[in-house]
Structure 1
Amino acid sequence: MSLNAGASRRLISNTHSDAAPVLRPVAFAVAFAFVAGAAVAQTQPANPDTQQPTQVQRVEITGSSIKRLEGETALPVQIITKADIEKSGATTAAELLTKVSASAAQLTDGASFSDIAGQRGFNGANLRGIGVSSTLVLLNGRRLANFASPGGNSGVDLNAIPAAAIERVDVLKDGASAIYGTDAIGGVINFITRRDYQGGDFSLYRFDTQHGGAAKTIATGSIGFGDIAKDRYNVFATLDYQDSEALRSTQRDWIGSVYDEALGLDVGSSNTFPANVRRLNSAGRPTGSRLNPSAPNCNPPATIYSPGSFVGSSACLYDYMQDTEIYPASKRLSLITRGTFAVTDEHQVFAEYLYSDTKTNYRISPLTITDLNYPAAGRYYPTSLGVTGPLRVNMRLSEAGGRTNDVDANAQRLIVGAKGVLAGWDYDTAINRSENTVTDAYVNGYVRRTDFNNAFATGNINPFGPSDAAGLALLNSTKIRDDARKSKGVTDSFDVKLSRPIFQLAGGEAAIALGAEYRRESLDFTPSALLAAGEIRGDGPATPLSASRKITAGYAELSLPFTKQLEAQVALRGDRYNDVGNTTNPKLGLRYSPTKQFLLRTSYGTGFRAPSLSDLYAPPRLGQTNGIYDDPLGCAAARGTAFAADYCGLQPDKLTGGNKNLKPEESKQFSAGFVFEPARVMTMSVDYWRIEKTNVISAPEGVLFSDPVRFSQFIIRDTAPSPIPGIPSPIVSVDSSLKNFAALKTDGWDLGVDVRLPRSDYGRVSLGFNGTYVNNYKTQEGAGARYITAVGRFANDQVVQRWRHTATVNYDFGDLGLTLQQTYYSNYYDQNLDGAGRVRKIGAYELFDLAGSYQVSKQLKVRAGIKNLLDKNPPRSNQVYYFLASYDPSYTDPRGRSFYASVAYSFR
C-alpha cells in the first residue's frame, strides 16, 4: 500500500525501528528496497523538469482544511487506494484496517464477536491501541453517528461503512483535534467514496474456508451517469449485499480445552450439565465441595473432569470452548448514493444518502443457573451422592439451547450541501443528519426469571440429565421469544469551511481556512419490559436512557510557506460542550524540504476527548466478568480444599454502566519524521510519534483482580465469615463501572517503503511496506501508581505487540496481476504464567495471502485468491480476558486457509 505524496513525490507513511529478531523482515524489506532503487536510479531521466507539464488542481488533503496542490503536508497520511483494497482481498472496512500497521484492529469481522450485551454487533477502529473512542472515523470528511447500543466502546461502527463504494482511505496517523474535532487523539480515518462515477459495474464474490464455516457471498452493483463538466450534473449509486456464515468452535480441531495444565489455563466453568451441586448449611448457604452425579465420567463432549481447581472434589467442569461460536453469521445490505448539480461554473449543490443494515446472529453457550436450590423432594434428586436436603445447583441450561441473539444495526445518513468559490473563498457547507439504530433481540436460550424459578422449584425440570416430555414442556414454557432491547443514536450537524490565499510569502501564497460547526448528539436506550424488570435470566435489569448534548466549535488554520523549503501549518480550535465544559486545542506543524528528494516534518498538538453520552449516562447493569479469575488473596490457600471453587476459577457478578461524574480525557501528541526519495522509483518514510493521555476513562475489570488490596473498594466480598482462617471471604461481585482510572504514555516509529520498478518485457514489480514499532506503552492504574509497561505483552484487554507490519509484492504482466501479502505480528508475553509458574512467550504470528487477477476483456475482470496460504492456526494462549479461551481472538484469524473468487463486469 502506498501513500500518494504529490506531483513530484510518492509516499508511504508507516513504521519501523530496530530490535534484532523482531526486525529481520524489516531489514530484508528495506535492504531490498534500497538495492532495487539504486539499480534502477540510472534509468531515470536526468532532468525530470523537461517532461511534459501536467494539469494540477487544488485538492483538500486529510489533515488540513486548506486546498493546495497535491503534495506532502506536515502530517503523516497513509493513503490506501481502490487498487490496494482489491489486491488485499479485503471486503469490509474492518478487514481493510488490518492492513494498517498503526491500527490495533482485529483481523476479521468475526473478532467483533462478544458476549457483552452492549457490544454485540459493534466493530470499531483503534489507532495506536489507545481506544476506539480516540479514533475519529469519517465518511467523505464528515461524521457518522456512533454505534447506538450503550457499551464500553463509543465510536463509529465499521459495519456501517459501504466498503464496495470506497475509492480510497486516508489514514491520518497523527492527532488532528484542532481541525476535525477534539476526539481525534489517535488519528483520523477518512473513507472516501466515488464522487463523479459514470457507467456501471456488477460483481459477484464467493469466499469459503478449507475446514468449513465462515463462508461469505457478496453481490455488488454500481451505476452512475452525468458529466459535471458537460451535463452539469452527476448521479451515482452503489448497492452491496453480503451474506456471511457462522463458524462453530467444533469446526476447528486446533481449538483446545479450557483446561491445559502445561499452558497454565484452567478456566473451565463450574456451571455444567449435568449440574454440579453443593450442600446447604444451617443458614441456607452453600458449603463444601461441589459434587456431580455423573463424575468422574462427565457428560461429553461439553464437560471435562479437571484435577486443576477442583482437586479432591467429585465435580465436573464445562468446556465452553467446545460448545460456542467463534464467528457469527451476518447479512449486510448497504447503499450509498450521491447527486451533484453545478448551478454555475463556480457553485455546486450536492446530496448524499447512506443506508446500511447489518443483521448478525450471535449464539454462545447455554445459560448458567447459580442461585437456585433443587428441592429434596424433586423427582430427579441425585440420591447416588449420599446427601440429603435441598442442593444449590451450578447448572448449564443446555436443554434450553445456546443463548442466541439477533442484532439488527441500521445506519442512515443524509447530507445536503453546497461548495464552490465565492468572493475568492473556497467554501464547503452542509447539513448532516446521521442515525444509528440497534435492536438486540433475545431469540433462544433465555428464560423468564420468576417463571423459571417457580418451575424449577417444582423439581420437575431435571438438572442432572434429560427431562421427560412434561419437564421439557415446563422448561419451554418459561423461554423468552421476541423480546428485544432497542437503542438509537442521532447526530445532527451543520458545518461550514472557508479557505483562500491571503498574501504572498517567499515560498508561495499563505493561505487561511476558517471553519465552524454545530452538532447535537442524542442517545436513547429502551429496554423491554422484561429486561427493565430484571426478568431475563443472564441479563441484569436495565433502566431506560435518554440523553443529549450540544457542541459548538470554531477553528482557524494557517499555511505559511516561509520559503520554498520551509512551510508551517498552524491551527487552533475551540469547542464548547454544554455538559462537560469547554476546550481549546492548538496544532503546530512544520515541513522542511531542502531538496526535492528529502522532506522533514514535525507536529505538536493537544486533544480533549469528552465522555460520550453512553460513558456518562449508560444505566448500571449487573452481569458477569468477561474473564475467569483466581482471587490472589485466597486461591493459593484454598486450592486442594473443599473451598477451592469459592476462590479459584471465578466469574463473579460485575457492575457495569456509565458515570455522570466522569471528566474529559486530555492528551498531548507529538510526531517527527522524514520522507526520502533516493530515486524516482522508490519512496520511504520514517515517523516518530508520541501520545500521552490523562484522565483515561476505563472499566478496569482485570486490574481489580491484579491488586485486590489496593482496589478493595471496588471488590464486594461475602459478608459471612471466611471459611478459611487468615484469608478474606469469597468475592461476590466487582464494580467495573466507568471511571477516570488511568493515564497512558505510548510512543513508537512508523516506517513506509514504496518501490515501483520500471516496466520491462517481463512485466512490472512493485513493493509496498508499512510497519509500526512501539517503543513504549505504559499505563498508570490510579492516581499515584507507578506506570506499568505493557508493550510486548498482553495487558488489561489487549496485546500491544512491539512490531506489526504488512508487506506486499505486486507483479503485473499485461492483463495478469499477482499479489503476495504478508501480515506480521511479533512475539509477546502471555497474560498469565504457564503451568510451571514461568513467564510464557507466544511466538510471532504471520499470515500470507496470495491473490491474482486477469482482465479477460475491457469489460470483464476475474479475481481469485488464497487467504492464510500456509494455513496458520492462532497460537495457544492462556489469556482469560476474552471468553473465547485457549487463543487470543483480538488479533488472530481463526478461519484457517480460505479461498475466494470474484467476477466483475463493467460498462462505460
Structure 2
Amino acid sequence: MNTVRHKNPATFRRTAAAGAVAVLAASLGLPALAQDSQQQLERVEITGSSIKRIEGETALPVTVIGRDLIDKAGVTTAAELLTKVSASAANLTDGASFSDISGQRGFNGANLRGIGVSSTLVLLNGRRVANFASPGGASGVDLNSIPAAAIQRVEVLRDGASAIYGTDAIGGVINFITRQDYQGVDLYAYYGDTQHGGADKTIVTASGGVGDINKDGYNLFAVLEASRTGALRSSQRDWIGSVYQPDINLDVGSSNTFPANVRRVRVNADGSTTATGGRFNPSAPGCNPPANIYEPGSFVGPNACLFDYMQDTEIFPKQEKLSLLSRGEFKLGDDHTLFGEVLLSSTESTYRISALTITNLDYPATGQHYPTGVIPGYTGALRVGMRLSEAGGRTNEVDARTGRFVVGAKGTLADWDYNTALNYSESRVTDAYIDGYVQTDTFNAAFATGTINPFGPSTQAGLELLNSTKIRDDARKSKGSTTSFDVRASRELFQMDGGSAALALGFESRREDLEFRPSELLAAGQIRGDGAAQAFDGSRTVNAVFAELNLPVLKSLEAQLALRHDRYSDVGGTTNPKVGLRWAPAKEVVVRGSFGTGFRAPTLADLYTPARLGQTNGIYDDFYCAQAVAIDPGLEPDYCGLQPDKQVGGSTDLKPEESKQFSAGFVFEPNSMFTGSLDYWNISKTNTIVSPEGLYFSDPVRYAQYITRGPEIVPGLPGPIVEIDGRLRNAGALKTSGIDLGLELRGIATEYARLGAFLNGTYVLDYKTQDFEGAEYVNGVGRFAGDQVVQRWRHTLGLTVDAGPFSAAAIQTFYAGYTDQNPMPDGSDRKVPSYQLWDLSGSYQASKALKFRAGIKNIFDKNPPASNQVYFFLAGFDPSYTDVRGRFFYGSVQYSFR
C-alpha cells in the first residue's frame, strides 16, 4: 500500500515513475498500469502537485487506495477506510465521541500522524468540504458525509502540503476521488451482523451514469446510498469489564448511584449547605446490580456503592445514513469542459449512555422515603449522589446534514491547462436531547417535596412527578459553511536536460462561517447536567495566491518548488514554502525528499466559542489527598475522588500554530513484481492549541491560577478543587518523527491463481510534547500520551488471490502494545498488549453482470485489550482504535447493467 508499480519498467527513468508513491495504486490492488510504449500517456493532476504530468511523476509520498482493495477489505465507510492507512492515527471515532459532555457527538474525523484532526486536510475531488458544524475540540470534515459507494480511490499525501492546498494541511492531505466517466447502472445490497448480537448493518446502493465524455460530449453520474447500523449495548459483550478493576489500576466508577449514596449536610452561616463526611448507601453492601457494585477498596469507601456505568451504556451508536453524490461533465469543443458536483448527505446517530447524575440536592429529613439510620446517629437532610435511573438513559439524537455544490470549468487556453470552480459547502448539525434529561428548576422543586424516591422505586405519584420534569429539546443547532472560488493553471515553460520545466499558478478566495444556536432551555441553563450555553457567530475570509515550479534539471533529477501566501481576515497572513527533490540514480531506484512549513489558524470554534461550564473526567488531587486523609479519613471524598467542573470554550487571544515538515526516502523496484519504499518524516509544531485539563491536574501548584478551590475545610490545607479553567490556550510544542515502510509483491503466477501481497507500516520514532515554553520535552511514543495512544508500530498486511471468477483477500490490521495511561499502584508501568484484527473476504463473478461477495471481519473474534485510560467516557479499553463489534459476518450482491 505504500509502494507502486510503474507503467512499465522501460519508462521508469523517463517518467521518474517510482519517484512518487502515487504509483502506489498497484500495491492496493488497482489494475496494472502497463501500456504500449507507443500509446500517448495522458497527463493528469496528482495529489501533492497542481501541475499536470504523466501519472507517477511526483516527488512526494502518496498512498493510493483503489476501489478493488476497498471492496476486498469489506470497507463500508470512509472512516473504516482510513484504518487501513498506517499513517492515520488517533482518528475521532464513534466510540471516542460517546460522552455526556461532548459537543461533537456524531463526528468522525481523520487524523494523519496523530497531530490533530484540525491539522489534516480532507478534500473531495481536490476541493474542500465544509467542516462538521458542531463546535468542539476538533475541526474537520465529517467522514460520515462521504458516501463510500461513490469513491473510486483515495489519495493520501503523507507529507505536509500547506504550500499547495492551504495552511491547515500540516499533517497531510486525504483526497477522496469519485468515479468520473461512469456509464451504466449498478445495484448493490449488503447485509452484515455480529456473532454476538448488535451493530448489524444494511446498505442499499444504486449507481448510474450515462454518456461518454469523449464520444457524446457529456457524462452524468449519480450514486444514491442508504444504510442503517444497529446499536450495540455494553450488556451484549461479556468482555466489557467493570469501571473498578484494581488489577489494572482502574477506578473510575461514579459515586452517583441508584439507590443514592448520601452524605451529611452542614448548614452554613449564609443558609447554604455543604456536604461533609463519608458516603453511605442504604443498600450497601448488597447494592443494586448490575449497575451498582460494592467495592470497599474503591474511593467511595466501605459503606457506599459504586455505579458501574460501563454496564449501563451503549458502546456503538445506532446510525441511519442517506447520501446522494452526482457529477456531470459537458464538453465545449475540444479544449474546454464544464463540470458540476452535488453532494447531499444526512446522518442520524443515536447516542444512549447511563442515566443522569444528581449531585447538589438535599433530600429533606421529612421526605416520605427518608432512609432512617443510613448514617448512624444522623437524622438531618441528606446530600444525594444519585443516578436518575427511573428517567431512563441520557439519549441524544444527532442529525448531521451536509450539502456541497460545485460548478466549474477546465481545459486548455493559450497553452495553459486551467481548472476553476465555485464551491459552496455547508454542514448543519442538530443535537437533540430526546430522553433521560430533566429541566433544572422544575426538577429541583419536585425533588424538594420528597416525593421522588432516590433510594428505590418511586410511587406512581413520584413517577408522574419525575416524568413531568423530563424534556425533549433540540438543544444544540449549528451551521457551518465554506464558500470558495479558485482558479489554477499550469503550463510548460522551457526545455531542460531532463524535460520541460512547468509552472502552476493559482488563486483561492474563501469565506468560512459558523453559527451556534442553543435552545431556550440550554441558554438558560435549564437542562440539568449541562451548563448554560451562549449563541455565537464567527466568520473569516481567506485569500491565497500560490505558485509551483517543476524543474527537471537532469533526466535523473527533478525539483519541485512551491510557495503560497494566505491572508486571514482575523489572524493575519502567512507565507509557506515547499521544496521537493526526486533523484533517480538508477532505473530501479528513486530517492526523494521535501521540506516545508505550515500555519494552522485557530478554527472559528477555537476563537469564538464562549466559555461555558462542563465537567472533567474523574481525577485525584494527588497533592493533597494523602494529607487530607491523614488529618481526617472522612475528608477522602472531598479530596481524593473528584469530578470538578471546568470552564470550556475558546479564546480570541489564541495564536496560530506554526510547523515545519521534512521527509526523505526512496522507492526500489528491481522488477515488475516487487516494489518497496522507505520514507522518513519529521514534523514539529509550536504554539499548539490545547485544552490542558490533564496538565493542570499534573501540577496544581504551578497551575494554581487555573484552578478554583472550595472553602478551607481544615487550617493549613487548601480547599478541595471545585473547578478548573479548561478553555483553549496555546501551550508548548510538539515534535514527532517516524518511518513509513511499503512493500508489495504482485502478479505471482501459479498453476491455479495469481497471488499478491502488500504491507504498509509506520514506525514512530518519537512523539515529544512540551507543556509550556521552556519546559522539558516528554516523549509519548509507545504510550497513552495526553489524549491518545501513540503506538510505536502500526501496519496493514494483505494477501490476495485471483483465480478466474474467484478472488479472495486476507487483511491484517496491527497495532503494537504500549504503556497505559496510568501506572500500577506500585508505580510500575502497565503494559497494554498488541492488538490485531484479521479480515477475510472472497468474491465470485457469476457473470459479466452479477457478482457476489462474502466475508468475515475480525475472524478470530479479538476483543479490545484492557486499558486503564480515563480520557474517554468509555472505560476499560480504548475506543479510538479498537473494534468493539467482535466477529462480524457480511455478504453482498451487485448487479450491473451495461
Residue 578 (structure 1) aligned with residue 578 (structure 2): no
Structure 1 CA distance for aligned equivalents of residues 322 and 196 of structure 2: 27
Secondary structure of the corresponding residue to residue 454 of structure 1: helix
| CA 248–14 in structure 1, closer or farther in 2 if over 3 Å, else same | farther
2:292 matched to 1:300? Answer: no
| Secondary structure of 1:95 counterpart | helix
Partner residue in 1 for 2:141: 156
For 2:206, the aligned partner's letter is G
In 2: Cα distance, 1:860 partner to 1:49 partner: 27
Secondary structure at the counterpart of residue 643 of structure 1 = helix
Per-residue CA shift, 1:849-869, capped at 9, x if unaligned? 111111011101111111111
* Partner residue of 1:413 out of 395, 404, 408: 404
What does the per-residue CA deviation read over 1:577-616, in whole Å, with 9 as the maximum and x for residues that have no partner? 0100000000000000122210000000000000000000
- Give the CA RMSD over aligned residues: 1.8
Distance change in 2, residues 1:12/1:797 (3 Å): farther
Distance 1:483 1:229 in 2: 50
**What residue number does 1:291 align with?**
280
Task: Name the counterpart of 1:41.
Answer: none
Alignment of 1:437-516 (within 5 A): 437-516=428-507
Mapped contact 2:94–2:107 kept (Cα < 8 A) = no
- Partner of residue 51, structure 2: 66
Who is 2:125 aligned against? 140
Question: Distance between the aligned counterparts of 2:92 and 2:645, measured in 1?
Answer: 30
Structure 2 residue 695 is matched with structure 1 residue 703: yes
Q: d(CA) in 2 for partners of 1:5 and 1:737?
A: 49
| Residue aligning to 2:315 | 326
**CA 682–817 in structure 1, closer or farther in 2 if over 3 Å, else same:** same
Q: Does 1:901 find its partner at 2:886?
A: no
CA contact (8 A) 2:296 2:304 kept: no
Structure 2 CA distance for aligned equivalents of residues 297 and 644 of structure 1: 22
Q: Write the mapping of 1:356-755 to structure 2, written as runs, cut at 5 A.
A: 356-385=345-374, 386=376, 387-625=378-616, 627-638=617-628, 641-718=633-710, 720-723=711-714, 727-755=717-745
Deviation for aligned residue 1:107: 9.7
- Residues 254 and 638 from structure 1, CA distance in 2 versus in 1: closer, same or farther, beyond 3 angstroms? farther
CA distance in 2: counterparts of 1:636 and 1:881, whole angstroms: 24
User: In the alignment, which residue of structure 2 is the partner of 1:231?
Assistant: 216
Question: Secondary structure, in 3 states, of the residue corresponding to 1:668?
Answer: strand
Q: In 2, are the aligned partners of 1:14 and 1:102 still within 8 Å (CA)?
A: no
Residues 14 and 809 of structure 1: CA distance in aligned 2, closer, same or farther (over 3 Å):
farther
How far residue 113 of structure 1 moved from its aligned partner, in angstroms, is: 3.2
> 1:114 deviation in Å?
3.5
Deviation at 1:483, TM superposition (A): 3.3
Amino acid at match of 1:361: T
Please tell me the residue identity of whatever aligns with 2:571: V
One-letter amino acid of the counterpart of residue 703, structure 2: F
SS at match of 1:642: helix
Q: 1:757 aligns with which of 747, 770, 786?
A: 747
Tell me the SS of whatever aligns to 2:697.
helix
Tell me how far apart the structure 1 counterparts of residues 392 and 57 of structure 2 sit (CA, whole Å). 57
Paired with 1:568 and 1:312, the residues of 2 have a C-alpha distance of: 68
CA offset digits 1:297-320 (Å, max 9, x no partner): 101111111123347541111000
SS for the counterpart of 2:522 is helix
Q: In the alignment, which of 78, 82, 86 is matched to residue 71 of structure 2?
A: 86
Mapping 1:265-276, distance limit 5 Å: 265-276=250-261
Residues in 1 aligned to 2:329 and 2:86: alpha-carbon distance in whole angstroms:
36
User: SS of the counterpart of 2:634?
Assistant: coil
Cα distance, 1:813–1:111 mapped onto 2, change above 3 Å: farther
Deviates more, 1:302-311 or 1:738-747: 302-311
Partner AA of 2:756 in structure 1? S
1:12 Cα offset (Å): 11
- Per the alignment, residue 839 of structure 1 pairs with 829
Q: Secondary structure at the match of 2:727?
A: coil
The answer to whether the Cα contact below 8 Å between 2:92 and 2:110 also exists between their aligned partners in 1 is: no
Q: TM-score scaled to structure 2, two decimals?
A: 0.95
Range with bigger deviation, 898-907 or 280-289: 280-289
C-alpha offsets along residues 384-419 of structure 1, whole Å, 9 cap, x if unaligned?
324211111111111110000100000000000000
1:127 aligns with 2:117: no
With over 3 angstroms needed to count, the CA separation of the structure-2 counterparts of 1:375 and 1:50, relative to structure 1, is: closer
Question: Is this contact kept in 1: 2:503–2:547, CA < 8 A?
Answer: yes
**Post-superposition offset of 1:838:** 2.0
**CA shift digits 1:604-653 (9 cap, x unpaired):** 0000000000000012121111x321111123344592222222232211
- Which amino acid letter does the alignment assign opposite residue 902 of structure 1? S
Residue identity matched to 2:693: E
- SS of equivalent to 1:91: coil
Residue among 834, 854, 862 paired with 1:872 = 862
Q: 1:337 aligns with which of 301, 318, 326?
A: 326
Residue 40 of structure 2 corresponds to 55
SS of equivalent residue, structure 2 residue 247: coil
Amino acid in structure 1 at the alignment position of 2:595: Y
> Does the 8 Å contact 2:296/2:303 carry over to 1?
no
Tell whether 2:102 aligns with 1:117.
yes
Checking the alignment, whether the CA contact within 8 Å between 1:149 and 1:487 is kept in structure 2 is yes
Structure 1 unmatched ranges of 5 or more: 16-32, 34-43
Please list the CA deviations of residues 344-376 of structure 1 after superposition, one character each: whole Å capped at 9, or x if unmatched.
111010110000100000101100111111111
1:773 maps to what in 2?
Answer: 763
Change (3 A) 1:653 1:543: same
Q: 1:820 aligns with which of 805, 810, 827?
A: 810
Paired residue for 1:36? none
Most deviating of 651-660 and 319-328:
651-660
- 2:19/2:590 contact within 8 Å kept: no
Question: How much does 1:739 deviate?
Answer: 0.5
The letter for the 2-side match of 1:119 is Q
Gaps of at least 5 residues in structure 2 are none
Is 2:181 the partner of 1:196?
A: yes
Q: Does 1:863 find its partner at 2:863?
A: no
Q: Which of 843, 866, 875 does residue 853 from structure 1 map onto?
A: 843
Query: 1: CA distance between counterparts of 2:241 and 2:87?
Result: 31
Q: Is the 8 A contact 2:5 2:675 kept in 1?
A: no
Give distance in 1, aligned partners of 2:152 and 2:792: 31
Listed one character per residue, the Cα deviations across residues 532-559 of structure 1 (whole Å, up to 9, x for unaligned) are 0000011110000111100000000000
Per mean C-alpha deviation after superposition, the further-off stretch among 705-714 and 784-793 is: 705-714
Say if 1:520 and 1:762 are closer, same or farther in 2 by CA, change over 3 A. same
Aligned to 1:27: none
Q: Which residue of 1 aligns with 2:153?
A: 168
Of 121-130 and 757-766, deviating more is: 757-766
Report the Cα distance in structure 1 between the residues aligned to 2:287 and 2:627, rounded to whole angstroms: 27
For residues 61 and 50 of structure 1, the distance between their equivalents in structure 2, rounded to whole angstroms, comes to 19
8 Å contact from structure 1 (residues 332, 356) kept in 2: yes
Alignment coverage as a number of residue pairs: 875
Render the CA deviation track for 1:114-161: whole Å, top value 9, x for unaligned.
433311010100000000000000000000111101100011111111
Length-normalised TM-score, structure 1: 0.94
Please give the per-residue CA displacement for 1:418-464, whole angstroms capped at 9, x wherever unaligned. 00000110000000000000001010000000000110111111111
| Aligned residues with identical type, % of pairs | 64
* Equivalent residues of 1:262, 1:835 under 8 A apart: no
Moved more, 50-59 or 761-770: 50-59
| Cα distance in 2 for residues equivalent to 1:744 and 1:875 | 28
How far did residue 53 of structure 1 move? 3.3
Equivalent residue letter for 2:816:
S
Measured in 2, the distance between the counterparts of 1:483 and 1:870 equals 42
Residue type matched to 2:740 in 1? D
